[in-house]
Amino acid sequence: MLYLVGLGLSDETDITVKGLEVVKKASRVYLEAYTSILLVDKSVLETYYGRPVIVADREMVESDSDAILHDAQNVDVAFLVVGDPFGATTHTDIVLRARELHIPVRTVPNASIMSGIGAAGLQLYNFGQTVSMVFFTDNWRPASFYDRIKENRDIGLHTLVLLDIKVKEQSLENMARGRKIYEPPRYMTVGTCAQQMLEVEEEKGLGAYGPESLAIGAARVGGKTEKFVAGTLKELCEADDVLGPPLHSLVLLGRRTHELEHDFVREFAVDRENWDRIWKAEYQGKH
């Protein structure tokens, strides 16, 4: 059996009882280590599980899945995923490959950022499409997220923005020369995300959002040091010091924001008077 086991959002203790039982009896245990990260090192997981854990990077999962699936018709293999196993579409690929090999598959769900973001005080059924934000470069500034945000905003829904992480990435030069030299890990912050969003709005000019649009920055959701900061996109450009270390996410408020949501979120506001002013002018009663 191939088991896809969700690890939750924070540390070694977030695994479910069912998931831990799977890990303890599996012949091999892999940790997917590129779509997200836990807030603890692999060694902490190994100590808690009492088992060695093999790190499965993007190259292994996408190009050498047969190594992970080897002999899984006869033994149990655990594939550990931060958050929920199907929070990233990548993991459908390994399931389809397992089906081709007639390997049974079972999923052990867990909390993901898609559900954990509810701790910010917004009602999950008021969220629209989730989008991703990648690091811009001098010659690569993808803006496909913009149209989805505009669609959400047009019908008044919140947008969860997932922020880029770069783990085991090669520079263009090293990639071109075939050198297995990797860049240090990089994790996008709310400030970078907000700034890039405003740059794209300036280019597009379609009014999907703007500097005065209300948003929430979230850091280490589900962890002991979980932190939320609410403000305008302009204010969140300067909120990184308050939010602290990764992982970060951002939520752009929809205009259908309920009063209960407002009352909950305003406690996180950088400037409560400004938050109240904008909410009353732009969001209150926009159902």
- Residue 225, classed as helix, strand or coil, is coil
102 belongs to an annotated ligand binding site? no
Summarize the confidence of residues 6-10 as an average pLDDT: 93
DSSP letters, 2-66, are EEEEE-BSSSGGGS-HHHHHHHHH-SEEEEE-SS---SS-HHHHHHHHTS--EEE-HHHHHH-HH
Q: What is the pLDDT of residues 113-162, one digit of tens each?
A: 999 999 999 999 999 999 999 999 888 999 999 999 999 999 999 999 99
- pLDDT score recorded for residue 169: 58
- pLDDT score recorded for residue 35: 72
- Whether 76 and 22 have beta carbons less than 8 Å apart is answered as yes
213 belongs to an annotated ligand binding site? no
- Whether 121 and 215 have beta carbons less than 8 Å apart is answered as no
**Among 80-84, 91-95, 108-112, 133-137, whose mean pLDDT is lowest?**
91-95
164 belongs to an annotated ligand binding site? no
What letter does residue 281 receive in the DSSP assignment? I
The more confident residue out of 3 and 171 is 3
- Whether 14 and 8 have beta carbons less than 8 Å apart is answered as yes
Mean pLDDT of the chain: 90
- Whether 191 and 167 have beta carbons less than 8 Å apart is answered as no
77 belongs to an annotated ligand binding site? no
84 belongs to an annotated ligand binding site? yes
Hey, what are 219's tokens? Answer: 């850091």
112 belongs to an annotated ligand binding site? yes
pLDDT band with cut points at 50, 70 and 90 for residue 40: confident
Q: What is the pLDDT of residues 44-70, one digit of tens each?
A: 999 999 999 998 877 777 677 888 999
